[in-house]
Structures are given as C-alpha cells and as structure tokens.
Amino acid sequence: MKRKNKNDIIKALEDAQKFIFAPMAFCALNSAIDFGIINLLDNNKYKEDEIIENLNLDEYTVRTLLDVLLINGIVEKEDEKYSLSKKGRLFLYDDMTKANFHFVRDVCYEGMKELTDSFKERKPKGLYRFNKNHPTIYSALTSLPKQMLESWYEFDHLYSDNCFEEVFKIISKKYSSIYDIGGNTGKFEQLCLGHDKKINITMLDLKENIEKIKNDKRLKGCKFHIINVLNEKPSYPKVEKSAIFMSQFLDCFSKKDIVKILKDLNGAMDDNSSVFILEPYTDKQKYMGAKYSLLHSSLYFTSMANGVSKFYTSKEMEELIIKSGLKIIETYNNIGSFDYTLLECKKNAVVSN
C-alpha cells in the first residue's frame, strides 16, 4: 500500500489495529474490573508490586493487564505508579458508560458471533445461543439468565426512563387517558400514577411481560391489555380522546412492521386522540459518542433482539409515519438527557405552521 504522505498510512495502520484488537481490550478491562484493579486505582496511586500485594494477584496477571489498560488510556503511569485516568473513572461513576459496558458484556458479546447469519436469515441468531424457544428477545426476557436480564433492563431503563417526567408533563396537558404500548416493567405507569392516582392509564404488552408485573402494588390503578402488535388483526382497545404512547418501541421493528403497527393504531383511534412516539434518532444527537453508541446498538437488534430492526434517523421515521396515514403535528426535541425526540401524530390532521 503506497501513500504520498507516510504519516497518513502510519495513522491508518494504527487505527486499524485498534479496531482489530478492540474486543480483546474490552475483555482485558472486564478482567481488570473483576480482579479489583480498577477499583483499587480509583483516587490512589500504586506501584505494580503494591497492586500485586493488595489484590493477592500474580505478577503475570497484573503486568499484562496494566500494559493493555495503559495503552488504551484506562490507567496512567507516573514515577512507576499507576492510577485511574478520567476515562477509566467513567467505568466506575458514569451511569451511561456503566450501562453500555454491562449491556455489551452480558447481552451482546456472545451473540455478536452470529451477526453475519443474523443478517442473512433476518433472525436474531445470537439470541438462540441463550434461548431457542422464542423468535425475539422480547418474549424471552423473563427466561433469560439473571445477569443478562439485569443488564438489559439497566440499559433500557437508563435512557427511556430519563425522559418520562418530561413526557408526562407534555401528554397530561392534553389528555387524562393514556395507552402505553410496550410498557415493559411499568416504569412510565408508576410515574403517571405517582402524579395522579386517578389517571386512566392502560399498559399494552405481551402476555409474558404483563403476567410478571400485573400484581405489583406500585401499579395499583393501572389497567392491562395483552396484545401482540404483529398479529394480523391485533385486538387493540377502542381509543377515544386518549394518548397512545410508545417509548423506544418502534425501533424494535422493521420498517414494514412499523407501518403496519401505525396503520393498526390509525384504525383503532378516533380523531380526538394522538400517538406520541419517543425515540432517539441517530441524526439528532449532539455528541459523536451518542451517535456512535446508537449506530453500534443497532447491531444488538440484528443479532440479539429480532434480526430486522435498528435505531432509525428522524427522516426514516417521518416517512414511515406518512405511509401509515398519520401526520406529525408537533415535534418535541431534546427530551431528557440523551437527546430523545417526541413526535405527536394524529389521523387526518391538518398540520399548522
């Protein structure tokens, strides 16, 4: 390979090696966490032999891991003493970094080996390493290994739950009746009932998820409606003068299925109701780290969740909404701390300026 500028090819080679060995660096960090090295070096400086003594580890383990952590900027070295860098401390104190790390480690890592076949077959082949009895991860949630399930909820709740307070204020100004589709563990329902115990709220979800939470005392006053939105003719309740809410729900489906779901909702709701769609769009992120996370998280949908969906751009979602016969009448940007967007849609609506 020839380049006029030698520095260009050297930098490209360096970046390529980082990409190639990234999975191994990830595993090294996980080992360092498991062995207690990361915690030990938080706000403390230790020489190599002191780390060995404090953690009762051997020289080979400590030196090998420190070398990898150092070159990846997780630890720093000064006067033969090691300490945790700013990047390293994120894995201890930053909620987003911890949730993403646990999600990749416990939910995605093993299944990514099946990514190519998942694309070929349009099925979450990685999921089948853990559970072969369910077509998608959503019906399999309650039967996943404990650590895997905990990390899945940690990831899912961190982002969407962060938006619920703001979303409730927006919706409750217009509606006193809410249908939450894909309510999961009922966190949004709990928040709504916490604000107004008399609010008319109904959670719609798969039977497995509803059975798990329907007796939760924190959900007293919540109604439940079992539904599979992908059924040919799903049994939606009749929606009148109500809000239909979907939080990070449509990204769990292919474009074809999203149009089908929205068309079904269009038929179930009256002219005085609205559909509120909450999603993080890849083209509406302020920071490259957020966009990077979303684009890579799409691979989770391919290999682990369903084999057909992803995080979409706002333009893609808008096109799907139009295809369904709905119209966007209001856009609420920068919802929560992670740049979510809330779209309010109506049927046969006239869009105002």
- DSSP code per residue over 238-283: PB-S-EEEEES-GGGS-HHHHHHHHHHHHHHB-TT-EEEEEE--GG
CA distance 175 to 207: 27
Give pLDDT tens digits for 296-331: 999 999 999 999 999 999 999 999 999 999 999 999
Asked if pLDDT for residue 61 goes beyond 60, the answer is yes
* pLDDT for the residue 214: 92
Percent of the chain clearing pLDDT 70 (strictly above): 97
DSSP for residue 42 = T
Contact in structure between 39 and 101 (CB atoms under 8 Å): no
Bridge partner list, 46: 82
CA distance 249 to 309: 11
- The sign of the dihedral angle between the CA atoms of 245, 251, 255, 257 is negative
- Helix (H) / strand (E) element for 34: namely helix 6-35
pLDDT average, residue stretch 108-116: 97
Percent of the chain clearing pLDDT 90 (strictly above): 90
CA distance 214 to 272: 29
CA distance 261 to 283: 23
Where do the structural domains in the chain lie, given as residue ranges?
A: 6-92, 94-153, 158-347
- Helix (H) / strand (E) element for 188: namely helix 187-195
At 150, which amino acid appears? E
282, 283, 287, 288: CA torsion to nearest 10: 70
* Size of the chain, expressed as the number of residues it contains: 353
Asked if pLDDT for residue 142 goes beyond 90, the answer is no
Q: Looking at domain 158-347, does it have CATH number 3.40.640.10?
A: no
Instruction: State how far the alpha carbon of 351 is from the alpha carbons of 46, 127, 328, 329, 334, in Å.
Output: 63, 42, 7, 5, 21
Phi, psi of 333 (to 5 degrees): -95, 165
Asked if pLDDT for residue 1 goes beyond 80, the answer is no
* pLDDT for the residue 30: 98
CA distance 36 to 273: 54
Asked if pLDDT for residue 183 goes beyond 70, the answer is yes
CA distance 96 to 90: 9
CA distance 309 to 299: 9
**CATH of 94-153 given 1.10.4080.10, 1.10.645.10, 1.20.58.1390, 1.10.275.10:** 1.20.58.1390
CA distance 196 to 300: 36
Instruction: State how far the alpha carbon of 266 is from the alpha carbons of 25, 70, 262, 347, in Å.
Output: 48, 55, 6, 6
Strand locations in the chain (E): 46-47, 75-78, 81-84, 177-181, 200-205, 223-226, 243-247, 274-279, 326-335, 340-347
Unique residue bearing structure tokens 């390529």: 16
Assigned fold of 6-92: Arc Repressor Mutant, subunit A (1.10.10)
Give pLDDT tens digits for 203-259: 999 999 999 999 999 999 999 999 999 999 999 999 999 999 999 999 999 999 999
Phi, psi of 123 (to 5 degrees): -140, 150
At 351, is the pLDDT very low, low, confident or very high (cuts 50, 70, 90)? Answer: very low
* pLDDT for the residue 2: 56
